[in-house]
Amino acid sequence: ETGVTQSPTHLIKTRGQQVTLRCSSQSGHNTVSWYQQALGQGPQFIFQYYREEENGRGNFPPRFSGLQFPNYSSELNVNALELDDSALYLCASSRGQENEQFFGPGTRLTVL
């Protein structure tokens, strides 16, 4: 059984640029959630996709957007990057509406 994978591992961007992060869900999982983890804090929910539809959104501005594909992989897009967007971005997958979510290793984004 393949776990959750994310790419890239690390990324450096400058303020104002756009970034796309990618996630492949664990085999058999059709729900993907994205979280932002700032240094020294717990992960914060960005949004969730279930069967290619957004299924909940946290307190993040519209410049954070996402997609889920028919194979249940997902993308997180962030436009007009700000310095405060520097964080670890975590993707988690789950089966349907089960509570247990399984996380990937994350993408470390640095905005200069």
Partner 1 sequence: DQQVKQNSPSLSVQEGRISILNCDYTNSMFDYFLWYKKYPAEGPTFLISISSIKDKNEDGRFTVFLNKSAKHLSLHIVPSQPGDSAVYFCAASYNAGNMLTFGGGTRLMVKP
Report the interface residues with partner 1, using CB under 8 A. Answer: 4, 6, 31, 33, 35, 40-45, 48, 50, 56, 58, 90, 92, 94, 96-106
* In contact, 90 and 35? CB cutoff 8 Å: yes
CB of 50 to partner 1, least distance (A): 8
In whole angstroms, how close is the CB of 80 to partner 1 at the nearest point?
24
Amino acid type, 57: R
Query: CB neighbours (10 Å) of residue 44?
Result: 15
**Shortest distance, CB of residue 67 to partner 1, whole angstroms?**
18
Tell me how far, at minimum, the Cβ of 16 lies from partner 1, in Å. Answer: 28
Quick one: 29 or 78, whose CB is closer to partner 1?
29
State which residue, 71 or 97, has the beta carbon closest to partner 1: 97
16 vs 61 by CB, closer to partner 1: 61
Q: Which helix (H) or strand (E) holds 70?
A: none
List, in sequence order, every beta strand (DSSP E) within the chain: 5-7, 10-13, 19-24, 31-37, 44-50, 53-57, 64-68, 74-78, 87-94, 102-103, 107-111
